[in-house]
């Protein structure tokens, strides 16, 4: 298991990347980063579509 502080740092970095993707209108990147954040948080992955 990863230390919470390391996981929090990765999630914060991904959140920043998600914000940039949304600001640029890059839906594909936003979806990928959103899914990665969800997996790090242990959330179930929603089916696509």
According to the model, what pLDDT value does residue 5 have? 81
According to the model, what pLDDT value does residue 11 have? 92
7 or 16, greater pLDDT? 16
What digits encode the pLDDT tens for the residues 8-48? Answer: 899 999 999 999 999 999 999 999 999 999 988 887 766 76
According to the model, what pLDDT value does residue 45 have? 66
What distance lies between CA 23 and its chain's CA centroid?
Answer: 15
- What pTM, to 2 d.p., does this model score? 0.74
Quote the tokens at residue 31.
């979806």
- Residue 33, classified by CB atoms within 10 Å of its CB into exposed (0-12), middle (13-18) or buried (19+), is buried
């Amino acid at each position: 298991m990863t230390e919470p502080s390391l996981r929090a740092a990765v999630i914060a970095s991904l959140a920043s990347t998600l914000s940039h993707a949304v600001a640029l209108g890059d839906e594909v990147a936003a979806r990928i980063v959103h899914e990665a954040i969800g997996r790090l948080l242990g959330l179930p992955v929603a089916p696509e579509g």
